Each structure stands twice: as structure tokens, then as C-alpha cells.
Chains A and B, each alone.
Chain A
Amino acid sequence: MPAEPIDDGAPRLLTGWGRTAPTAAHLVPGLSTDRVVSVAHGAPSRGVLARGLGRSYGDAAQNAGGTVLDMVAGATPAPRVDETGLLRAAAGTSLDTVMRSCVPSGWFVPVTPGTRHVTLGGALAADIHGKNHHVDGSFGRHVVEATIVTGGGDVRRVAPTDDPADDAELFWATAGGLGLTGAVTAVTLRMLPVETSRMLVDTDRLDDLDALLGAMADSDAHHRYSVAWIDLMATGKHLGRSVLTAGDHAPLAALPTGTGDPLAFDPAVRVGAPPWVPSGLLNRLTIRAFNEFWFRKAPRRRRDELQTIGAFFHPLDGVRDWNRLYGRRGFVQHQTIVPFGHEATLRRVVERLSEAGAPSFLAVLKRFGPASPGPLSFPTPGWTLALDIPTGHPGLAELLDELDRVVVGVGGRIYLAKDSRVDPSLVPLMYPRLGELADVRRRIDPDGIWRSDLGHRLGLDDVRPTPLGDTHDREATS
């Protein structure tokens, strides 16, 4: 097949969802597997990277000076679930498209994050998790097969099986590998059957952190989905006050008669953020006021409330481009895990954020279940805390460094798909199996053409083997 001419136009500035640290790259439509192969085959200088809908908060989907494949361009419009519950779709297909196409016929995605606007390929590359991690694990657990274009443009079909032909090692390095093993071009996903498009939701307002931690452990045992919103700006005896929501897919019998189509699914965007917002709009005062309102409006205790999928899983999708509300300087999303058994450390992290007055709204706390086999997959058993903070908050860089050291000290880690600022020297401590990614990359991409700004910033994209005696030589000569 003759290689198509590559659209190598003027560089485009790209950022993550947090709108920090823009870099320029050549954006090329990843229209098909063949097209991705021809781009990879050309081994562009400064490498290539697949990008989906740009919902990674930091620089995971940027490749400065190199080529970025716009995978959304090649998405199929309306994938269908087959009779065995499998969905096969182009990697650029969004979960929004999947849900709009499949929920009306009674199939839900096995894992959804807080937004529907992520692609299947991105979901695998970040090995995303949802409110059901304690029951169902991460996204990669539900992928039965994927097609990946690796170094030099080789097309590989991979699957998480024991068959050597399926290359499970490459599959799991890709699940959470942040695009550094190549471009995922197609995904086969095992879907979840549902009777209705509604959720049965329990809500509890908790007055402090101890009450929350106890209630969450109990809630997880009884519900498929569970997450708590926590007010990190509350102090003193209100420290850790929160709203816990837990839910399950509503069975048909739970819907009142006359509801109409039980599988109707048509979430709407209610408002859009204005194109320009002053950087200081979201500050300590406005966020404190918002948090107070959010806490007060929640019922103290409510059981079996019917909610739509959109309202339960994706409330922020109702506000288009909500990331603009943080203004020109953008924001940082920070998500950590504190392993079970280290609740005192979790308390210390919450206390530190509270006393620093870091303006954080919509911070969420969730319990993770067992980990995936992927060496870079984020979720491991423990408490995960995620928060958004405007980048301009004074002392924030140092505060997050301090929290990272505390969390690493008890065997915790941060979510690299959301990172835009971690100290690179902490990453091997957070991800002790980092070397396995490098091993896979040496095997399938010896020239290291699959690169990203995040990989470069954190030293993940180096495929050169460490020379023997390197450490010794350095000590001898320095």
C-alpha cells in the first residue's frame, strides 16, 4: 500500500484538560490503522503519540516538536454490542458514543470515569477506574482484545490470556502505559447488561473523616458503585465532612409505572463555560462558599433515589468546557492512593490540605479493590483521594511535593495520567515495576518512537538499556 502523504502542517499547541504547560506538535488525523501504521513507519523525528479527547489533566497526550495522532478522527459512529456482550470499536470512539449507542439496547460500559468524553483507547492507555473499582477493577480487566501499532509500524493483536500469541505482557504494559507502547487502534470490550438506564442511589451526609471512613467500608460491601465528595476546606471538628453516594443499576421493577422507555439515554449539556474567565474566579472564598452549599444541599440520609446515568456518573459533563473556569493559568488535578492500614496517613494528608487552605472543590475519596496486572496501572488496594486546585495557589508546588513524599513513605502513589508536576525521582518508588515497561518498549519499540511530554518529563521514555557498571563508573569519575 503506498503511504498516504502525511498532513504535516503548522504545529498546533496542545495542553491537557488542566490547561497547563502547552507544547506544539504536528497533529495528524489517525483515520485508520493503516494510516497510523504509515505515520509510525515514517518514524517522525521527535516521535509520535496517540491522543484521544484530551481529558488527561497534564501532559500525557502531548508530544512537543513531534507528531500527535488525533485518534478521534478515525472513530466509528455507532458501535453495536454483539449477542455475546462484546463491543468492538475503533479506539477513538468515545464512551459517550458507546453509551448513546448501547444503553438503549441494554448494555452499559463496564467502567466509566467522571466524564463520558474519553476514548476507548485513552481509557485503556490510562487503565481508568470508576466508582465500581472495588467490585469490578479497572478498565483493562474488561478489555478482551486490543489492536496496537507499535514501533516501526507493526500491527499487533494482543489479549490478556495465557496464549503466548496474545502477548499478554504487551497488553498489560499498554493498560496504563500512557501511549508509550504504541497507538491502540481498536478495542474489544466486554459490556455490562442493564435492565434500565437509571440508578438507585443512597446518599449520606457525614460530619467528619472517621464517620466517612467507617461508612465507606460498609457501603462498598453493599453497592456496586460508591464514592464520597469531601470538603477539604473544612477545618477543626468538621475536618473531612463529606457526602457519600452509593448506587446500583436500577432493575426494571424499581421504576414507577409510566416511566416511559426504561432504557432511554439522552444526557444534555445544560450550560457552557464562557470563553474567557479571570484566573482568580475560583479562589478560596468562592470555593469555600461552593463547598458549604454543596454540603448543605445534600440530604442527611436518603435511600433508593432514582437518578439518571448522567446525573450519577457524569455531573460535570452538564457544563461544557468547565476546565475554563480556572482561567488562563489552569489547574492541577492530584490523585493519590494511601494503602489500607495507613488511615493515619490519609488523615494527615487531609489535615495538611485543610490547614494549607488549598482551594479545592469536588475532591473525591474512594476505596480501590485489587490491582490490575499492568506495571503502570494506577489502582492498588487503598484509599484514593482526588482533588482539583488552581495552579496559581501560592506554595502549591511545595505542598504537593510534601504530600507525595508522605504517601510514598507508606507505599502509595499518584495517578500519572493526571500528573503535570510530580518529582521524577519519586516515580520509581511509586511504580516499582517501571522497568517492565522499559523492557517491553525495548522489545517492541527499540528506537523509542512512541513518546510523550509526560514520558520525557518523568524519564519513562528512555529505552536505552542501563550499561553494566554505569553506577560504578560514575562514582569513580565524579
Chain B
Amino acid sequence: MKDAFGDVQRVLVLGGTSEIAQAIVRRLVARRTRHVVLACRQPADAGGFADELRLAGVTVDVVPFDADDIAAHPAVIDDAVARLGELDLALLAVGVLGSQEAFDADPAAAAAAFHTNATAGVSAGLVIADRLRRQGHGTLVVLSSVAGERVRKANFVYGASKAGLDAFAQGLADSLVGSGANVLVVRPGFVATRMTAGMKAAPFSTTADAVAEAVVSGLGRGATTVWAPGILRWVFTVMRHLPRPVWRRVPG
């Protein structure tokens, strides 16, 4: 269950090797979380993190999860809920960044990345929302991105996929009002992780742990949206309204 401070006990991570997801889980287990299911494409890749959590006294299950296999979503999520006994918090952290240049040359790869980031999130999000609605409580945290807030030519396939996921998550959140379940949409800026290694850091870049801190603080106050760093909310309030010819020329 969630307590008065928004601290949760049982957590499912879809995309258990995500550095942001792991940073969030580290902060949750420092409070009340005692059972975590890490669902990931390559379970072996989450082994080190799982061992780290077990040393802290947390029960950890690592289960295989292929986000692209949408037909398998209900079974994977039901299995995780059965292991946890109750789903206090689900963290949707599946995603691929890709390179816009590669996508330009390989439309099929672009569509596949879009499928992983957006379509798979729609399926998993709806399956989780159904379980949360029936248990009368629980939070779905969706890792979106500022890239979806206004799509840029430099990464418009990724940006469009996050825009779709973000819009979906907002609608889902509204549909869950009154059900006891809720959705937290997280919009990080440029986060220095493996995913972005070798890329030039954008302005207001941040770290996985800073994003995690913002997420846990947002859970505590019952927020529906978290920007990380928080100033991006105001930056994008301006960016959103720039005329297209100006927006096209914004560097980065």
C-alpha cells in the first residue's frame, strides 16, 4: 500500500535495466519498498542491480519481458502482480532512443522504435491501469520526455513517439480519476546515461538520480506531472509557443 507520504511497498518495473528506473527504485527501497519485480528484455543484464537490492534486504524477481510482444503483456503483468501480491507502483521505463540519421535511412527501424516507445506503452499502460482500477489503488509512473513536449527535427521519430506516449498517459490519468489509481507523467530533459553516451549534452542536462529525486518528491505530493529539472516546465512554456521558423533554428 501507499502511505501518507506516498511511499510504496511493492513495485513493478517494466524496463528494469533503465538507469532512470534503477535510480528511482534505489530511492524507493531506501524508504518502504520491500519487493520489486524487474521485467526486462535481457534478465541477465539486471542481475547486478537485483543483487544490490537483495543486499539491502529487498525481495527481487527478475522476469523476461519483451515490450514489443504486445500479446504477452497481460500474462507478464499478471505474473508480476501475483508475485508481488499487490501492485502499489508500476514504472513504465521501456524505450529506445535511436539516431534520427539511421531512422531516415531505415524507415522500418524507425517504425519499430516508435512501436517500442509508444505502442507498447499504450498496451502495457492499459493492462496495468485495469489491474490498478480493480484493486482500487496504485500508481503508474510513465517515463516520458521533454522531447515529446515539442518535437524537434534533430530527433523527431523519438520525439513523436514520446509525444504519443505522453498524450496517452495524460488521457489515461484523467480516465482513472476517482478509481483510487493514478498516473504520474515524468518529463526529463537531457539525462546523462548509457542511452545518451557520446551525445552532446543539451542545456539543463541532468542525472538519473536527480530525475529519481524529482519523481519520488512528486509521488509524495500526489503530482500528476514531474519535470526534471523543474525549470524545464517554464522553459517549455516558452518553447511551445515559438513560431515554427524560430523553433526549427533552435540549436541542440
Binding site for B on A (CB under 8 A): 10-11, 13, 18, 20-25, 46, 58-59, 63-66, 328-330, 332, 391-392, 396-397, 420-421, 423-424, 453, 456-457, 478
Contacts and interface: CB of A to CB of B under 8 A. Distances in A.
Given A330-B4, A456-B86, A457-B9, A11 B32 contact: no
A11 B179 contact: yes
B218 to A, nearest CB: 12
Contacts of B221: 329, 392
Interface stretch (B97-105, B134-142, B150-158, B205-213): B134-142
B3 interface: yes
A330 B4 CA distance: 9
B136 A20 contact: no
Contacts of B136: 11, 23-25, 46, 63-66
Given A328-B222, A329-B222, A457-B3, 5 more contacts: A21-B4, A21-B137, A24-B181, A64-B1, A397-B5
A391 to B, nearest CB: 6
B5 A59 contact: no
Contact of B4 (A23, A66, A421): A421
A66 B220 CA distance: 25
6 contacts: A11-B180, A21-B3, A25-B136, A64-B137, A397-B5, A420-B3
Interface of B: 1-7, 9, 31-32, 54, 86, 134-137, 178-181, 220-222
Contacts of B7: 397, 421
A58 B54 CA distance: 30
Nearest to A20: B4
Contacts of A423: 32
Nearest to B217: A394
Contact of A421 (B3, B134, B178, B179): B3
Contacts of A58: 4
Contact of A22 (B5, B9, B180): B180
Contacts of B178: 10-11, 13, 24
10 closest cross-chain pairs (CB), A and B: A24-B180, A65-B136, A420-B4, A64-B136, A20-B4, A457-B1, A24-B136, A23-B137, A65-B135, A64-B137
A64 B3 contact: no
A392 B134 CA distance: 29
A408 B136 CA distance: 33
B4 to A, nearest CB: 4
Nearest to B134: A65
A421 B31 CA distance: 11
A20 B181 CA distance: 14
B57 to A, nearest CB: 9
A399 B9 CA distance: 19
B180 to A, nearest CB: 3
A168 to B, nearest CB: 32
A13 B180 contact: yes
A63 B86 CA distance: 13
B140 to A, nearest CB: 15
Contacts of A396: 5
B31 A397 contact: yes
A424 B88 CA distance: 15
Most buried by A among B7, B54, B136, B179: B136
Contacts of A330: 4
Contacts of B134: 65
A64 B4 contact: no
Contacts of A25: 136, 180
B4 A46 contact: no
